[in-house]
Amino acid sequence: MSAIKEAMTALKEVLLLADRVERVGSTLSEMTKELRDHDRRIIRLETFVEVGKMGRPSKH
């Protein structure tokens, strides 16, 4: 009987672990989307800075 109990406990742990892995994967996917959004925003800001530098007269 204890072998069956141990097997059931192990199976329960595997199912819990699978659920955790799925949640972590989902969280990672959301973080990836946010990172891409931040990257796009940074690129836009860098573009504004570069355009601003080109529009200024030289100090020579």
**What is the C-alpha separation between 19 and 12, in angstroms, rounded?**
11
Structure token pair of residue 2: 């204890």
Could you tell me the pTM of the whole model? 0.63
CA separation for the pair 12, 26 (Å, rounded): 21
- Which sign, positive or negative, has the C-alpha torsion 16, 17, 21, 27? positive
Residues of the chain above pLDDT 70, percent = 92
C-alpha–C-alpha distance, residues 45 and 60, integer Å? 27
Q: What is the mean pLDDT of residues 6-29?
A: 97
Confidence (pLDDT) at 12: 97
What pLDDT is attached to residue 56? 74
What is residue 55's predicted lDDT score, i.e. its pLDDT? 82
Of 56 and 25, more confident: 25
**Chain segment 14-24, per-residue pLDDT in tens:** 999 999 999 99
